[in-house]
Amino acid sequence: MASFTDKWILHKLNKAITKSTASLESYNFGEAATAMYDFWLKHLCDVYLEVIKPIMYGADCIEKETTKSILYKCLSDGLKLLHPIIPFITEELYHRLPNTPETLKSICITKYPIANP
């Protein structure tokens, strides 16, 4: 079961997807980049990665696997969000994610993230 922190980061990811998609559709690239930057730096790196450290070093395997899957989703969708702005970097980082059935040969052919209402 997802913790409060897991639900919080998924909510922040959803907000970033919504904001960046709307901004890209209206050709407001600065606003789109700001939404992506805020998600990556202020939410994922500054808060979530710090909060999950005790979980990742802990003994609870179920909680650890849940946290890993949510982190993977955030990294994968975060890279897809950034891809229109920095395609070569996101392509390289995408290939360094753990291989899963969803991982395709290129980030270029993956679907752009869709906000979950």
Domain that holds residue 26: 4-109
Identify whether 12 is part of a domain: yes
Residues 89, 21, 52, 1, Cα dihedral to 10°: -130
pTM of the predicted protein model: 0.89
- CATH number at 58 reads 1.10.730.10
Confidence (pLDDT) at 47: 95
Q: Quick check: is 91 in a domain?
A: yes
- The answer to whether residue 114 is domain-embedded is no
Q: How many domains is the chain built from?
A: 1
Query: What's the pLDDT at 11?
Result: 96
Residue 116 placed within a domain: no
pLDDT tens column, 46-105: 999 999 999 999 998 999 999 999 999 999 999 999 999 999 999 999 888 887 666 667
Note whether residue 115 is domain-resident.
Answer: no
What is the pLDDT at residue 2? Answer: 75
Instruction: Supply φ then ψ for residue 86, to 5 degrees.
Output: -130, 70
